[in-house]
Structure 1
Amino acid sequence: MSVDLAHLVAVRTRHPEAVAEAAARRRRRPLLRAPATGRERPDRHGRLMIVAADHPARGALAVGDRPLAMANRLDLLERLCLALSRPGVDGVLATADILDDLLLLGALEEKVVMGSMNRGGLAGAAFELDDRFTGPRPEDLARLRFDAGKLLLRIDPGDPGSLTTLHSAARAIDAMAAYRLPVFVEPFLCRRDPDGRLRNDLGADAVTTAIAIASGLAGTSAYTWLKVPVTDDPDAMARVMETSTLPAVLLGGEVGRDQDATYEKWRKALHLPTVQGLVVGRSLLYPPDDDVAAAVDTAVGLL
């Protein structure tokens, strides 16, 4: 899909209130739709298929061996519009700047719109685990009639910044529940390498512990969903997902060369009772062969 960048910039420059106007008239839909019977409706699989594009606001612009792949906003928007146009894609997860662009482009009609709430833990920063809420607030999501929020919860027992994030996450979940808005919590246990680089622990025990911590946050879990990785040992996912009764979606993770193996891990995990769908970003928007439509269609087929 081609995006008219000049027109988009002109609207932003001369008519900034157009964002709120587009949000007010946007046609909404339920978070989950009832599945269609038979295979004739790939858009009605009864689960969530969300495309994620919230990486740039955290300074995470790399995809594979391309260090600035996500820095070209026009290219990213065109990839997003193409992905959102494919049958079976339910919506998008992004920060306000990208969601505002998509609103102005008319790409969010009857889509689930999820705001990415904490992007303050910039990639590679010394304060990365003090992950402040620098994105949309619960009141912003409610005002713009968006459908959900997402927060990242990385916990390193050796980093005091994790406690600030943990406390802030709990209060954000409380605020989202007050608006009756679902919030997707993405928990990790992590550690720093000797060179200072932060690594998420995808071992089964670590993911189990992260899920247990995230599930217990805030005054109610009524509106809390989990966004979880497939573990290093995909055969352990059944045991891992027994940790909580909260509904969950799988996150896509890094772009890999062996996409077939990645799809197979997702397919197995999608059979587990609490798993309600996929939230995938770079793996679909920047696949190794650069065929966005084919990558998206394959992921939808897993549902």
Structure 2
Amino acid sequence: MKKSLQKDFGACSLLLIFLLPWLIGFSVFLLFPIVASFYFSFTEYDVLRKPLWIGFDNYTLLFSDPVFWKALCITATYALITLPLSVAFGIAFAVLLNQKFTGVSIYRTCFYLPSIVPLVASSIIWIWIFRGDEGGLLNGFLSKLNITGPLWLNDPTWALLALIIMNLWSLGNSVLIYLAGLQDIPKSLYEAGDIDGAGFWHKLFLITIPMLTPTIFFNLIIGIISTFQYFIPAYVMTSGGPEYATTFYSLYTYQNAFEDFKFGYASSMAWILFLIIVVLTFFAFKGFAGKVYYQGK
């Protein structure tokens, strides 16, 4: 009995030794920052001075901040537009790329390439595309059609739309996931549809999309999280302007933390964002309960 306990203890000790590097990394780079940000959200802190405990003042100030509400509305608008479009275009492109034709592998590669381009680099390219004069690629093309293009990134009306267009350009990841989901659908279902005389649209809405609901749901959850954390393109291309038209929630959090050095205020914003994502994810799970089809269940 004693030898058995010693053997088990030795195995556990060995396991802990192997886990120790991960535990140290997790504690230093994840757990400690989470706990620290929660504490800082109740303080006034600018790095140069010690944190001053102010209770819920940051949260009170937050809800009376007009830029906070504007940033939240812009982020919500962006999510409400891009999520449905990403699902629709992602499925459409995946269905096209799932067909058998010459050079399909090349097309699949081309669709995925934008996803591996660093966001900063692609943002700089899109700044040139969306230049407001005829030197911009898009406006230069429109001028050939005798159409006067808008100022895009310099116009509060068009700036958000420009970022949405850029988002749709980089659908490679979701298209790849949809493509994997399509290839997992049993071919026997389509063969049965052919026997019943089902056309393309019938098979799409009665076979493909129902069988693809787990993949759609997965991409939807990932999309909710990523859209509320949208930051790099807005920071590089517009810095939140013009007139706060592209001041996304994460960008405003960054500006408070690293430009205005209001780390306590930024921490409270981060925790509000965490709660928003948790609530939206919860309702997404509740809303899709019973509507997602899993094979064998």
What TM-score does the superposition give when structure 2 sets the normalisation length?
Answer: 0.25
Greater per-residue strand proportion: 1
Greater per-residue helix proportion: 2
- Bigger relative CO (Cα 8 Å, ≥ 6 apart): 2
Q: Which has the larger radius of gyration?
A: 2
